[in-house]
Amino acid sequence: MSTPPLRIKRADLSRRRIRRRVLSALKSHFALTGGPINRAWLCAPGTLVFKLGEWHGYYDGKNEWVAL
């Protein structure tokens, strides 16, 4: 017995297809102002306390430099 040939299905472009919703996360970036790092973007506001050369402090919730 031989197997029947495979049939290639064609997409009917005249019908509207039901599309599933794609879940996506909104990405927001927070720019830093002042301090030693002024050209970086964070994925969450604020940073931990750190020391970079003579700079010692952190970025607060508004992403403004707070010296310690």
**What's the total number of domains in the chain?**
1
Domain that holds residue 62: 30-67
Residue 42 lies in a domain: yes
| Joined tokens for residue 3 | 């197997």
Across 16-37, average pLDDT:
76
Residue 35 lies in a domain: yes
Residue 12 has pLDDT above 70, yes or no: yes
Q: pLDDT tens digits for 27-47? A: 666 778 888 887 777 777 788
Q: What is the pLDDT of residue 56?
A: 92
| Joined tokens for residue 58 | 């952190």
Give the pairing of strands 65-67 and 50-52: unpaired
Per the listing, tokens 């970036």 go with 29
What is the C-alpha separation between 59 and 22, in angstroms, rounded? 35
Residue 16 lies in a domain: no
Residue 14 lies in a domain: no
Residue 18 lies in a domain: no
Q: Using alpha carbons, list the distances in angstroms from residue 59 to 2, 32, 49.
A: 73, 8, 8
Q: What is the pLDDT of residue 25?
A: 64
Give 56 or 4, the one with higher predicted confidence: 56
Residue 4 lies in a domain: no
